[in-house]
Structure 1
Amino acid sequence: MKITKTKMASLGFQHVLAMYAGAVIVPLIVGAGIGLSNAQLTYLIAIDILMCGVASILQVWKNKFTGIGLPVVLGCSFTAVAPIIEIGNHYGITSVYGAIIVSGLIVVLIAKFFSKLIKFFPPVVTGSVVTIIGITLIPVAMKDLAGGDGSADFGSMTNLALGFGTLMIILLIFRFGKGFIQAIAILLGILLGTGVAYFMGMVDLSPVAESTWFHLPTPFHFGTPEFHLVPILTMTLVAIVSLVESTGVYFALGDICDKKLEDKDLEKGYRAEGVAIILGGIFNSFPYTTFSQNVGLIQLSGVRTKNVIYTAGVMLILLGLVPKIGALTLVIPKAVLGGATVAMFGMVIAYGIKMLSNVDFSKQENLLVVACSIGLGLGVTVVPEIFAAVPSGLQILTESGIVIGSLTAIILNIIFNFRKNKQEALASSDKVA
């Protein structure tokens, strides 16, 4: 089927809509978590949208150095939300971007080796990590649903009605909508929820009026980056976890596009993500990773051409150059945002559980890996003060449920499974001999 320019534009815009909600929610959560002003938030959202387009084009464009060469869309990583907020509050926003830049450089350097080390990240590890990510983000969503942490009307019936009403709208759209409408249920829920809030007098349009129509991105907008060891280690771990998540997306797209991926393909894909992370740090946006919701959109539409993603990337860049569009997202009430993120973060948990369904739980070792990693991840999230006596330089690691849970899963898998499988393989070869 020949795709006309009009159809190409429609298909590209469809991908933009499918990922737009996820792309703007991360800067909204991070900005609120580290206390950015409306002006700073407007820039953060605009540059994030723009960099999503740049990162996607960089990944789709396959060359000798970078690019997986598949119709993949990149967006800001949800894995980075909690660590960025913690680093920003402990070390300052300039340390956030110093850590992001260094982590991107590390990803570029390890891409070749990481493409051969995927055996250390079986479903028991990746499934546990993704589940932990979702679990640690749910408290953020629930606080927003109630009106925002520290707000005067926290937990009011108005906020609860608006938050749960938004969640109900999303569920109804997903239940009765089909195809593309179902794919953008989150975005439609946010739009309808904000519309209801407007008639309730809960929408402030002043950020839109105060923002400019056009703004060029500026390197190091929030100041010269600072480099501290603990934030760098934290963001490097986040980047590695994102690579593990992206690997699953790469193979899913490879199946959809009937393309068998080799180590070299993975290496270029990882390296492209590393470059995208570096650019995110330079222009003060975020680490970038693959967006799985766009994979589902490719399956639904049946259109697998890379030109559609190129079109979507250009659209994202143009949208990012207009701050007023980014400022529109600032009018979304916290309760509406919370209702939407309950569904989104809950889906992260569900996806993690789905990944764990491929694990052989007849082995006690796998049960212990999942039990201890998720248990510690959730425990630290609920009771972060447990490590109050730990030296301050390490607290940013111990206070993050994502980091503690992820490290636990990786280490326990090596102890229980990797070494055991290696020993079994050696024993089997000795018997054959």
Structure 2
Amino acid sequence: MQQQEKHSKAMVLGLQHLLAMYSGSILVPMMIGKALGYNSEQLTYLVSTDIFMCGIATFLQLQLNKYFGVGLPVVLGVAFQSVAPLSIIGQSHGSGAMFGALIVSGIFVVLISGVFSKLARFFPAIVTGSVITTIGLSLIPVAILNMGGNTSDPTPQSLALSLITVLIILLVNIFAKGFIKSISILIGLIVGTVLATMIGVVSFAPVGAAPLLHVPTAFYFGAPTFEVTSILMMCIIAMVSMVESTGVYLALSDITNDPIDETRLRNGYRAEGIAVLLGGIFNTFPYTGFSQNVGLVKMSGIKTRLPIYYAAGFLVLLGLLPKFGALAQIIPDPVIGGAMIVLFGFVALQGMQMLAKVDFANNEHNFLIAAVSIAVGVGFNNSNLFNSFPTELKMFFSNGIVMASILAVVLNAILNRKKK
């Protein structure tokens, strides 16, 4: 009886973890798919397979063996920092180059995992805070575009729907507590879509057209191609994700009182690399530890991996049922935009919180590192400064997240080389 009660509780907690990360796991494929002009059937595949792969990636990371897996109660989801670079690669070189770059970057992560576990000193808070702040600020214009319905002439109806969605999310964050507060984005998406349905701007056609069951298909969008600039860009983004995951691992280690060493860090990176490689093969996206689920582990007080195993199982199951994936398509753009504006604001604020821990008072070099990295990252993002450059260089230099990451690491290595 005790064992049954234990598993029942773990199942409920696993469902909570799924709900906490669900909005993030559907928004990223929707954003990239729409940026690349995918049709309804392709979007359904993209979202469903992405949910499925989130579950597989989480299973890999939960393992505690000598080859891969950090062995902590961590949930993996799609990395937000991949949105802009993958959209640029897909628009410039096609889907094949996008997934080819992911395959190579996954192999790259596996190969450097051992070395990277020893390089934490190159990624202090000044670097990670600057990069994550840039990620949030760079994605906000995408949210604004969606709030207007992705048109050059937004209607009052679009603006009203997006603002109501923002209001719902704010109200949940202000008045709710605990788990309900942690899924405020998901609640905003649901309420906004219900309101949009009531005024007749929601089409359920994608759900009706979606099959009852599907199995993820290797190279669904065609054979991968390998373009050097795209590969380099995604390898940089992969390292940014590894830095973010390191923060998640260390936070969970502290919460669960389960110390991790370089070997477990290496195995955690390996699991992440394998997940990115599989994402490229099955045509989804890179995965990283989800920080919002760290809060749920702390809130529940359950420090075992069992609830996360259930969460991973639920993700795999939902990923095999395309009608659940198709549900993401019925969410109107203004509602998605309203949720995005808050979500990306959260991301930027998370970066700022990291920067708040940096010693600016006794080290003026940190001002330079943060100021230049964030300014160049936000300013160069989708800028026309490089229109005269060859396509490959333009794609590289106009990606704010990549430029901010390189600048933050290089400037920190040079200016703080004498600091411990």
TM-score exceeds 0.5: yes
Check if 1:421 corresponds to 2:419.
yes
Separation (CA, whole Å) in 2 of partners of 1:15 and 1:311: 9
The corresponding residue for 2:114 is 112
Separation (CA, whole Å) in 2 of partners of 1:304 and 1:276: 24
Structure 1 consecutive aligned stretches of length 4 or more whose deviation exceeds 4 Å: none
The corresponding residue for 2:367 is 367
**TM-score, normalised by the number of residues in structure 1:** 0.95
Q: How many residues align?
A: 417
Structure 2 counterpart of 1:374, one-letter code? I
Structure 2 counterpart of 1:301, one-letter code? S
The corresponding residue for 2:376 is 376
The corresponding residue for 1:144 is 146
Separation (CA, whole Å) in 1 of partners of 2:122 and 2:319: 38
How is 1:179-190 mapped onto 2 (pairs within 5 angstroms)?
A: 179-190=178-189
Separation (CA, whole Å) in 1 of partners of 2:293 and 2:310: 14
- Of the three residues 5, 15, 29, the one matched with 2:7 is 5
**What per-residue deviation string (whole Å, max 9, x for no partner) do you get for residues 269-305 of structure 1?**
0111000000000100000000001000111111111
Structure 2 counterpart of 1:343, one-letter code? V
The corresponding residue for 1:312 is 311
The corresponding residue for 2:211 is 212
Separation (CA, whole Å) in 1 of partners of 2:349 and 2:419: 28
**TM-score, normalised by the number of residues in structure 2:** 0.98
The corresponding residue for 1:394 is 393
**What per-residue deviation string (whole Å, max 9, x for no partner) do you get for residues 357-407 of structure 1?**
1111122210000110001011112x6101112222211111111111111
Separation (CA, whole Å) in 2 of partners of 1:149 and 1:276: 35
- Of the three residues 75, 97, 100, the one matched with 1:98 is 100
Separation (CA, whole Å) in 2 of partners of 1:164 and 1:298: 31
How is 1:3-402 mapped onto 2 (pairs within 5 angstroms)?
A: 3-150=5-152, 154-362=153-361, 363-381=363-381, 384-402=383-401
Structure 2 counterpart of 1:291, one-letter code? F
Structure 1 counterpart of 2:323, one-letter code? K
**What per-residue deviation string (whole Å, max 9, x for no partner) do you get for residues 310-360 of structure 1?**
111011001000101100110000000000011100000000000001111
Structure 2 counterpart of 1:421, one-letter code? K
Structure 2 counterpart of 1:300, one-letter code? M
Structure 1 counterpart of 2:378, one-letter code? L
Separation (CA, whole Å) in 2 of partners of 1:229 and 1:361: 38
**What per-residue deviation string (whole Å, max 9, x for no partner) do you get for residues 237-269 of structure 1?**
010000000000000000000012111110000
Cα separation, partners in 2 of 1:274 and 1:348, compared to 1, 3 Å: same
**What per-residue deviation string (whole Å, max 9, x for no partner) do you get for residues 86-126 of structure 1?**
00000000110100000000100000000001111111000
SS class of match (2:219): coil
Percent identical residues: 48
SS class of match (2:49): helix
Following TM superposition, by how much is the alpha carbon of 1:149 offset from its aligned partner in structure 2, in angstroms? 4.0
SS class of match (2:149): coil
Following TM superposition, by how much is the alpha carbon of 1:62 offset from its aligned partner in structure 2, in angstroms? 1.3
Structure 1 counterpart of 2:6, one-letter code? T
Following TM superposition, by how much is the alpha carbon of 1:4 offset from its aligned partner in structure 2, in angstroms? 3.0
Structure 2 counterpart of 1:45, one-letter code? V
Separation (CA, whole Å) in 1 of partners of 2:178 and 2:137: 28
Structure 1 counterpart of 2:175, one-letter code? F
SS class of match (2:77): strand
How is 1:398-409 mapped onto 2 (pairs within 5 angstroms)?
A: 398-409=397-408
**What per-residue deviation string (whole Å, max 9, x for no partner) do you get for residues 174-223 of structure 1?**
11112111111110110001000000111011111111000111101100
Unaligned runs of 5+ in 2: none
